[in-house]
Amino acid sequence: MFDFIVFLIIIYVILYVIVFIFFDCDLETGFYEKFGKPIGHLRGKVVFITGASSGIGECTALALAKNGVKLILTARRREELERVKRKCIEVSQNQLTQNDVLVIPMDVTDLSLHRKNWDYAVRHFGKVDILFNNAGRSQRALFETIDIAVDRQMFDLNTFSVINLTRIAVNYFNSVGGGHVAVVSSLAGVIGVPFSSSYDATKHAVHGYFNALRAEKIGRNLAVSIICPGPTFTNFLSESFTNTIGQKYGKNVQSTDKRMTGERCGQLCAVILANKIRESWVALSPLIFFTYFTVYCPVLYNFILKTVGPEKLFKARDSQELTLQEEYPNKQMD
């Protein structure tokens, strides 16, 4: 029996080494991409996407459209939503018509619009099958310099808007016998990442809400998915909050950065939706290994963090040096 247990442990370790070397996602997600339900399993389903005008939201919409999935695209900018709609219809190769992609301009922080727009989508299609919460922004700032107004604004966008719309969706799914709610979180919602504490907190809060929802709905025909990407080639970095209300970080990603493409992230998001995966970690190596290591070996992680320093961790995350010089009046940056 002891030898058998040791054998299982060895196999387990080997599988995870394979993940770290070959996969750009966790083992479960990689398995379902290879052997699970194809994205085409969702053909004819209706997916409500927030933050669909760019980035991961746009790329996920395109991955779904290629497989005949009907879409509700929401974001603030109508012209960008219309652009994404045209692309979705084009890549669907005649699977989708104009009527199969509904554009709804919406600021998700205006909670008064949520029920109205959800009901409008249901009337248009006769149903909604999946809510894909994607809208949100990141942050780059030093903890002690952050104006509390920034924290409030970030929670309004990244947490409270998600929870309000999700509650509307869950009540609807309860009434029709089932459905699926998903949220794009971040690896920063799994571990504590330096220099974005407000953002980290909003994502940790989302995990708390969604994990509690999943626990309440076990066996009740409601799927709950949390998707945790690492660095991705989108406009996320330039649009990030800082420590000051109304200010953007303004730094662009570079073509040489080590990041997952938006297209690949969108493809994996579509796989996650098709297979109703509980929680997925999505990033290029070695960030998946780093996340596993941080979660399962916290003492060693803390030792390494003290040795390496938070600035090096920041550089690994953003593929560039920390540029918060004005927030370190007594520290010479490298």
In three state form, how does the secondary structure of 238-258 look? Answer: CCCECCCCCCECCCCCCCCCC
Contact between 273 and 180 under an 8 Å Cβ cutoff? The reply is: yes
- The beta strands (E) that lie in 114-200 are given as 130-133, 179-184
* Residue written as token pair 């994404």: 84
Write the DSSP assignment of 53-84 as a string of letters: TSHHHHHHHHHHHTTT-EEEEEES-HHHHHHH
**How does strand 222-229 pair with strand 232-233?**
unpaired
3-state DSSP call for residue 208?
Answer: helix
What are 226's strand-pairing partners? 183, 279
199 is catalytic: yes
Angle at 238 between CA 88 and CA 22, to 5 degrees: 65
Tell me, what amino acid is at 276? K
Contact between 159 and 205 under an 8 Å Cβ cutoff? The reply is: yes
Residue 130 burial (CB < 10 Å; 0-12/13-18/19+)? buried
The count of other CB atoms within 10 Å of the CB of residue 1 is 5
Whether omega for the bond prior to residue 329 falls within 30 degrees of 0, making it cis, is: no
CA distance 224 to 68: 22
> Annotated catalytic residue: which of 32, 199, 209, 249?
199
CA distance 195 to 142: 5
Active-site annotation, residues = 199
